Structure 1
Amino acid sequence: MYSRYLREEIESRLGSGKAIVVIGPRQVGKTTLIESILETKDYLLLDGDDPKTRTLLTEPNTEQIRTILGKYKYVFIDEAQRIEGIGLTMKIITDRFKDVQLFTSGSSSFDLTNKINEPLTGRKWEYQLFPISWEEFETHHGYLNSEQQLENRLLYGFYPDVLNNNGDEISILRNLVNSYLYKDILSYSDIRKPEVLEKLVQALALQVGSEVNYSELAQIVHVDKNTISKYIDILQQGYIIFKLSSFSRNVRNEIKTNKKIYFYDNGVRNMVIGNFNPLDLRTDKGALWENFLISERMKQIEYKQSLARTYFWRTKQQQEVDFVEENSGKIIGYEFKWNKKKTSRLPKTFVESYNAESNVIDKDNFREFVIMK
């Protein structure tokens, strides 16, 4: 089992009088993480996928909750987004049963977060869990073994099931994409055209690392621009993709409104386009490298509670910086190259206009980017 970075942070919150909420995509190990924290404790597991549990926990009063909890001091509600009114139930447990430590997990942020945010204001510690990070992978396998597997990780990604089934990665990813990517999102959101969602995800997968234009996507998928915007938001809330906005302050001709879209996991991205060819046979090697680096950096920013804000930068003259971080007034630009090139450098306009630090990240130095100190 992979040791998760968040475990220590969550354990430090035990007994704080607040609920501990872990959200993130399906199959990334939320249940495994919480159960490993509780393995030495006597705890009550309430599974939101179970119809009887859903009935019991839908709008119960205080006395009914007292009966359900019994003498348990640790309570874990798994797949909580399936339970109607779960936010109010969690509020009652947190407010009325002070000696109970409540844990909750959920797969879809657009569903669970909406249900618990208002009732649990000031009453929860919330954490996002993603597929295994490079840091967690390296801790488990060691430096040398991890380096040897770098190309495989660019192809197959970091879902725990994928990592634990060497040689069967494509079947695992196919099942993951078919069962979760579309079905789960369709069941939790108001999407009436699943075929449109599928076409859109494929179009986004082919444009990783490039700016996306909602009007062009609308033409490709044959829907209007507002539908594209709505579906992209749902895919982001469902932990399939995330957006980077353009960085713009004062330089004339900067691109100000476009977005770049990345996938949380390279393996999911490659399954969507049905391509697991080796890196030396691919034309999208640069895009895979960029997606890997940025998705890993986003995990680090979240796990280490960094205040960094993230962007890309480009001008109408095609000057470009792959990734920009702004933190405490300091601006750092990053250029990503699979192979080291002595001539690689960031545009002079960007560096001078923003007094920016510049970095080129390649295979030789990528660890310092994907593991934040």
Structure 2
Amino acid sequence: MYQRRTNQIVLSALQSQAAVVLLGPRQVGKTTLAMEIAEQRPSVYLDMERDADRQVLTEPDLYLDEQAGRLVILDEVQQMPGLFKSLRGQIDMRRRKGFRAGQFLLLGSASNVLLHQSAESLAGRVRYIEMPPFLLDEVGRERQNDLWLRGGFPDSFQAENDSASIGWREDFLRTYLERDIPALGPRIPVTTLRRFWTMLAHAQGGLLNAAALAEGLGVSGQTVGRYLDLLVDLMLVRRLQPWHENVGKRLVKSPKVFVRDSGLVHALLGLGSMESLLGHPVVGGSWEGFCIETLIASAPAGTEPYFYRTAAGAELDLVLRLPGNETWAIEIKRTTTPKVSRGFHLAVEDIGATRKLLVYAGEHEVPASNGLQAVPLARAVEHLRARW
């Protein structure tokens, strides 16, 4: 078992907030974490995908009144949107009885759906926390290549061998396509959505070209947008937005698109070993996406991620605006030579970066010119963790 950083974040939030919403894709470890917390305090666990547990909440106030003083854990809570009004009343009633914090832990795997459902009813009563797959500082830097190849879903990362790992990821993709996504309501042919997801993996880290995707799928650009919104909502794909604050610069306006888990990128492309990955054209985009997800997840809460690119050639792979108005400019290269282009320095000046990092494939931290630091990924994570 690996100790998850999210565990301490949730425990801390439960000490100050009445309700905590833990978001993350399926199989990322939310339920395991919740059950660990449940062992430490009086708790009750209900899974909203089980008919028996849904029946318990047919009259939610009658049941929840009996649980006052316990932590109520509701898994896949987006399955019962009508529950949120009852939760608001329960929180307010319990406050009057002296139970102020740590009342509800809500787990969900569809972020926008759940945020929309809870925003109106639980405003001021809830904290949202996203649980990522395994992170580099959770599994150790000696397993960096395993984490990159297999991705961070626990069952994939901890599989007995690479073959078993990619087999698990194939099953994961099939389950999402055939069961989980249809359960949300969209009527999308499985083969079409699989092709779309695979096209995103081939173009990992590229600018969104909805017209080209639509032409390849034989659908409209609007339909491509709907497919993308769905995968973003399920926290399986990231739309990395461009930095947009430089007046007078011709900035790229299209977002970059990444399949968020590197292991899913490789499963979609049939890359089951490090040898096959290193020989594939996606290797650079895969490494960039892996680093970007790792760095965003390691940054302090409230950090805003962007990329930067101008028509003149100034470019940054990742811009992190940290709380306190710090702006970090980050370049990512799968090379052992710590060098950046002139476009990097131009972009740093454009955005007024307060810190400059080059994440590269070497093993040592190397100071470069103009305040630039070349660091391994694990060291960049440590720099970000120091800002928590």
TM-score class, shorter-chain normalisation, is: 0.7 to 0.9
1:254-333 matches, cutoff 5 A: 254-277=250-273, 278=275, 279-301=277-299, 304-305=300-301, 307-327=302-322, 328-333=324-329
Q: Which stretch shows the higher mean deviation, 361-370 or 10-19? A: 10-19
Q: Does 1:226 align with 2:222?
A: yes
Helix, strand or coil: the match of 1:118?
A: helix
Helix, strand or coil: the match of 1:35?
A: helix
Gaps of 5+ in 2: 363-375
Structure 1: distance between partners of 2:43 and 2:328 = 46
Query: 8 Å contact 1:262–1:295 — kept in the other structure?
Result: no
Question: Post-superposition, which runs of at least 4 consecutive aligned residues in structure 1 deviate over 4 A?
Answer: none
| TM-aligned CA distance change 1:36 to 1:154, over 3 Å | same
Helix, strand or coil: the match of 1:367?
A: helix
Amino acid at match of 2:149: L
Q: Which stretch shows the higher mean deviation, 279-288 or 235-244? A: 279-288
Q: Which of 193, 208, 219 is the matching residue for 2:189?
A: 193
Q: Which of 150, 153, 162 is the matching residue for 2:156?
A: 162
| Alignment correspondent of 1:143 | none
Query: 8 Å contact 1:87–1:117 — kept in the other structure?
Result: no
| TM-aligned CA distance change 1:105 to 1:223, over 3 Å | same
| Alignment correspondent of 1:142 | none
Helix, strand or coil: the match of 1:339?
A: coil
Gaps of 5+ in 1: 139-145
Amino acid at match of 1:163: F
TM-score between both structures, scaled by the size of structure 1: 0.88
Query: 8 Å contact 1:331–1:355 — kept in the other structure?
Result: yes
Structure 1: distance between partners of 2:127 and 2:305 = 24
| TM-aligned CA distance change 1:72 to 1:321, over 3 Å | closer
Structure 1: distance between partners of 2:244 and 2:63 = 55
TM-score between both structures, scaled by the size of structure 2: 0.85
Structure 1: distance between partners of 2:321 and 2:17 = 34
Q: Which of 53, 70, 73 is the matching residue for 1:73?
A: 70
| TM-aligned CA distance change 1:342 to 1:5, over 3 Å | closer
Residue by residue, what CA displacement relative to the aligned partner does 1:183-237 show, whole Å, maximum 9, x if unpaired? 3123214343333322211111111122121111111111111111121111101
Query: 8 Å contact 1:110–1:237 — kept in the other structure?
Result: yes
Query: 8 Å contact 1:334–1:346 — kept in the other structure?
Result: no
Provide the alpha-carbon RMSD of the alignment.
2.3
> CA shift at 1:30, angstroms?
0.7
1:1-373 matches, cutoff 5 A: 1-14=1-14, 16=16, 18-58=18-58, 60=59, 62-67=61-66, 69=67, 73-98=70-95, 99=99, 101-138=103-140, 146-147=141-142, 149-167=143-161, 168-181=164-177, 183-250=179-246, 254-277=250-273, 278=275, 279-301=277-299, 304-305=300-301, 307-327=302-322, 328-347=324-343, 348-356=345-353, 357-364=355-362, 365-371=376-382, 372=384, 373=386
